[in-house]
Chains A and B, each alone.
Chain A
Amino acid sequence: MDLYLPIAEMSVNAPLLIALGAAVGFISGLFGIGGGFLMTPVLVFMGIPPAVAVASLSNHVAASSFSSVTAYSRRRMVDFRMGGVLAAGGVVGAILGVEAFRLLRLLGQADLVVAVSYLLFLGVIGALMLWESLGAILRSRRGEAAPPRRDRRPILLYALPWKMRFPKSRLYISVVPPILLGLFVGVLSAIMGVGGGFILVPAMVYLLRMPANVVVGTSLFQIVITAGLTSVLQAGRNQTVDIVLATLLLIGGVLGAQLGAKASARFRAEELRALLALIVLLVGLRMGLGLFIQPDDPFVLVAGVG
């Protein structure tokens, strides 16, 4: 059954898109991630204009994160105060990111920046995660204990002004690092069509030193606000949000995420992380590949004026 997407102005196979949404949803439920970094490249490979894919994905990410954040909030695993501070930065970042993306489209460089961002961020984070989780797997095979975690908190968190108390995270730190982190992730989410959890979660653990039990819920809370706003801005400024596309992905995505979350209990955490790291790394490399291979045709049509 083919369905015509009114904004992308193309005809797609609806069951295929729903299945795709389910597959990515399953992976995101399995690993507890948003999955935007996986979905955007797949949509682009299917021939959906990158600008429409990125913008519609932010709508989809807002929906799927909202469905998960309610579950975390019921279990009191969201630090709303920290999430609010992150989101304050995220709102500014989303506005900057959407404007930057608009400018890049006019200059014909949007594809380049998307490819470089994927290669850089997914490549680096995937490689780091793979290294760390392979080390953990090897240690557990050999029966060694994990190395003791350095518990000294970075001095920067305390030296900066405007300190704030975050009782839920048991932190008393400056608001500057979380605001900057939110801003950075907001820009990335507008440009890459991702929620940004793959950057937020490690940053919250290793930089802000938040307790592990509130990290995922809090990052989801920030993602709902940033992605929701990005989706409104993309629609308002660029007219690139395809609600039919987002809804199709959502139908499959919600089902897949629930199944993935159930399946995740069967695997060991380190092995899951290693697998996720491999996926992240491969997607980053695949998106960056186009930068280095000679194109079939030296000319390309540049989409979107105004």
Chain B
Amino acid sequence: MLLAAAPPPQPPAAVSATLTETDVRVTSGFRGARISLYGAVFDRSGRPSDVVVVVRGPVQTVRIARKMRVAGIWLNSRPVVFEGAPGFYRAASTRPLQDIARFGQLRKLGLGLDHLAIAAPAERRVETRYGVRDMVVSALGEDYYAWRGAVVRLKQTAGLYSADADGVTFVDKGLFLARVDLPAAAPIGQYTARVLLFQDGRMISDRTLPLKVEKVGLERAVYLLAHRRPWLYGLVSALIALGAGWAASRAFRRS
């Protein structure tokens, strides 16, 4: 990563950052969380620096269907599965991403909603075509970009995907601040916050910080029981319901 053109050997620019909170706890009163990321750029050369902060949630398979009109009724098509899409994605930067780096660079690093890597649909067929065996044919074909765009758009509407070209601000020389708002619907799991330093359209340095969103207390106990011992959970909740019904009828008979 050393710059070849610099005559006096300068140490390469570097970035360092920290999160105000590394453990977001989802309790019964959870309404989302606001996390701040502070960081510093170490650079003696004084060249203009750009910082991009990408927060990604755990990977969640997305299933999406297209509505089609059949005999006057809107019906869902067969769902298409997109794998590898993060459950939460936020790209914040000091400037619009296309001003910071070139298309190829952004695509390689998966920066921004347009370049976010979402794996091709799983609904594929393997068949013989044009005399060539085992060709992979995506069922979506040319529609692929419409579907991929819809995944991002629907996630944006749900507040789970966002991009903010002013999301990172330099508060002092070399010191920057980024805010990350997690909505209440943000998925539970392991997140990463990646901080990238760009100079002259190239990535000079990066840091990855872990961030965890987890349920605690009663919410966690209920969630775990419901998913690990679903039948026991079902029986217990049915008994609670019957018990509550019985208690209610007793209470109102007396009064």
Bin chain A's interface residue count: 35 or more
Write the chain A residue with the least CB distance to B69. A294
Known pairs A107-B78, A301-B154; A9 contacts B241 (CB<8 A): no
Task: List residues of A whose CB falls within 8 A of some B CB.
Answer: 1-4, 6-7, 9-11, 59-60, 62-68, 70-71, 74, 107-109, 111-112, 224, 228, 231-237, 239, 241, 243-244, 246-247, 250, 254, 258, 290-295, 297-303, 305
Q: Are B74 and A241 in contact (CB under 8 A)?
A: no
Contact: B185 with A10, CB < 8 Å? yes
A241–B226 contact, CB under 8 A? yes
Q: A165 vs B147: C-alpha distance in the bound complex, in angstroms?
A: 61
Q: At the interface with chain A, which of B42-50, B162-170, B199-207, B215-223?
A: B215-223
B144 to chain A, nearest CB (A): 13
Which of B63, B74, B184, B244 is close to A302, meaning CB atoms less than 8 Å apart?
B63
Write out the residue numbers on chain A whose beta carbons fall within 8 Å of the beta carbon of B28. Answer: 3-4
Closest 3 CB pairs of A and B: A235-B234, A66-B245, A299-B150
Q: Which of B67, B234, B240 has the most CB of A within 10 A?
A: B234
Least CB separation from B62: chain A residue: A301
B residues near A (Cβ < 8 Å) are 26-32, 61-69, 72-79, 81, 147, 150-151, 153-155, 157-158, 184-185, 187-188, 215, 218-220, 222-223, 226-227, 230-231, 233-235, 237-238, 240-242, 244-246, 248-249, 252-253
A–B pairs, 22, beta carbons within 8 Å: A6-B223, A9-B188, A11-B30, A59-B238, A62-B238, A62-B245, A66-B249, A70-B249, A228-B242, A231-B238, A231-B241, A233-B234, A234-B234, A235-B231, A236-B231, A239-B227, A241-B237, A258-B252, A292-B74, A297-B154, A299-B64, A299-B147
Contact B241 A228 (CB under 8 A): yes
Give bound CA distance, A228 to B242, whole Å: 8
A235 x B76 contact (CB < 8 A):
no
| Least distance between B4 CB and chain A CB atoms (Å) | 48
Q: Could you tell me if A6 and B215 are in contact, using CB atoms closer than 8 angstroms? A: yes
Q: Which of A111, A237, A246, A298 has the most CB of B within 10 A?
A: A298
Q: Is the CB of B154 within 8 A of A292?
A: no
**Contact call B223/A7, Cβ cutoff below 8 A:** yes
Residue contact B244 to A63, C-beta cutoff 8 Å? yes
Q: Is the CB of A301 within 8 A of B63?
A: yes
B66: contacting residue among A63, A234, A299, CB under 8 A:
A299
A71 partner residues in chain B, CB cutoff 8 A: 249, 253
Cα(A2)–Cα(B28), bound, Å: 8
Q: How far is the CA of A115 from the CA of B150 in the complex (A)?
A: 23
* A295 and B74 form a contact (CB under 8 A): yes
In contact, A231 and B237 (Cβ under 8 angstroms): yes
- Chain A nearest CB from B113 CB (Å) reads 16
Other-chain contact of A305, B63, B74, B227 (Cβ < 8 Å)? B63
| Inter-chain contacts of B237 with A (CB < 8 A) | 59, 231, 235, 241, 243, 246
Evaluate contact between A297 and B238: CB separation under 8 angstroms.
no
B233 contacts A241, C-beta separation under 8 Å? yes
Partner of B241, one of A2, A60, A111: A60
Contacts of A301 in B (CB 8 A): 62-64, 154-155, 158
A7 to B26, CA, bound (A): 13
Residues of chain B lying within 8 A (CB to CB) of residue A258: 252
B73, B77, B226: which contacts A291 (Cβ < 8 A)? B73
Q: Contact: B64 with A70, CB < 8 Å?
A: no
Q: Which residue of A lies closest to B63 (CB)?
A: A302
In the bound complex, how far is the Cα of B65 from the Cα of A241, in angstroms?
Answer: 25
